[in-house]
Amino acid sequence: MNAAKTQKSRRSAAATVRERVARGGQRLWKHSDFDDLPPGAVAQALSRLAREGVLQRVAKGVYYHSEPTSFGPSIPSSDAVAAETFNAPVHPSGLSAANVLGLSTQNPRRGEFATHAAAAPRALRNALVHTGRPLARTGLTAEEGAILEFLRQRGVYSDLPPDATAERLRALLADDERFRRLVRAAPSEPPRVRAMLGALGEELHKSPKLLGQLRRGLNPLSRFDFGLLESLRYAREWQAK
């Protein structure tokens, strides 16, 4: 690739990073959140956004995008920052997951996370950590893991009404690659998670092959508690109670 093409590629990557950060709302960002873009261009783009004050560097390779609140700009919890620096995958859970997904504006005093590790990392000793989650989640982003946790907990931590909650989840699952990664991890999740993911995928007209993978293994006689998502259009077809 010649110099002109390289420069054009970097500008395109920087614009993509900037756009995703702007759309992402209040959340933490890492280089791995942009693994579809050239690593060098991502590093430069994140550093530039930090210099401009758009992002705040809160740890090595970890940046925070704040949003205004009535008490001033939002700040990340120390637990959330620590979770991003832990080697084993650690994903937000409970109210922390709802916050990351844009389904709650509450920032819990005590962070809640989930990991496949057998023991909680010492860096999160002040947080509530669910251990022993499926190893299949390895490779998922914090947001993708948060989606699985949110579905596992039946949406109970959403501040939004059911229709708005479903709309936000559809927006989060619209990307085909993200949906494919979640389907790949789903067989290790509780059946209700696969069923809710399938009902959402049905609304998004995802491929029959992926939907078939989610339906496979669901006992046709079982009925699942969808909680806040019981009003999904295809909830009954996906065995909601």
Q: CATH number of the domain that 37 lies in? A: 1.10.10.10
**pLDDT surpassing 70 at residue 83:** no
Report how many domains make up the chain: 1
Backbone phi and psi for residue 232, each to the nearest 5 degrees, phi listed first: -55, 145
Tell me if 222 is assigned to some domain. no
Tell me if 101 is assigned to some domain. no
pLDDT at residue 81, rounded to an integer = 64
Tell me if 57 is assigned to some domain. yes
pTM of the model: 0.69
pLDDT at residue 203, rounded to an integer = 97
- Residue 209: what residue type? K
Q: Which range of residues forms the domain containing residue 45?
A: 1-76
**pLDDT surpassing 90 at residue 59:** no
- Note the pLDDT tens digit of each residue in 195-234: 999 999 999 999 999 999 999 989 999 999 999 999 999 9
- Give the least confident one: 120-124, 142-146, 161-165: 120-124
pLDDT at residue 228, rounded to an integer = 96
Place of tokens 């696969």: 194
- Name the DSSP class of 117: S
Query: Contacts by 40-43 with C-beta closer than 8 Å and gap 24+?
Result: 40/10, 41/9, 41/10, 41/13, 41/14, 41/17, 42/13, 42/17
Rounded CA separation 133/123 (Å): 18
Tell me if 112 is assigned to some domain. no
Helix residue spans in the chain (DSSP H): 3-24, 39-51, 78-85, 94-100, 142-152, 162-173, 176-185, 191-203, 208-215
**pLDDT surpassing 80 at residue 73:** no
pLDDT at residue 99, rounded to an integer = 86
Tell me if 56 is assigned to some domain. yes
Tell me if 194 is assigned to some domain. no
Tell me if 210 is assigned to some domain. no
- Note the pLDDT tens digit of each residue in 16-29: 999 998 888 778 88
Tell me if 221 is assigned to some domain. no
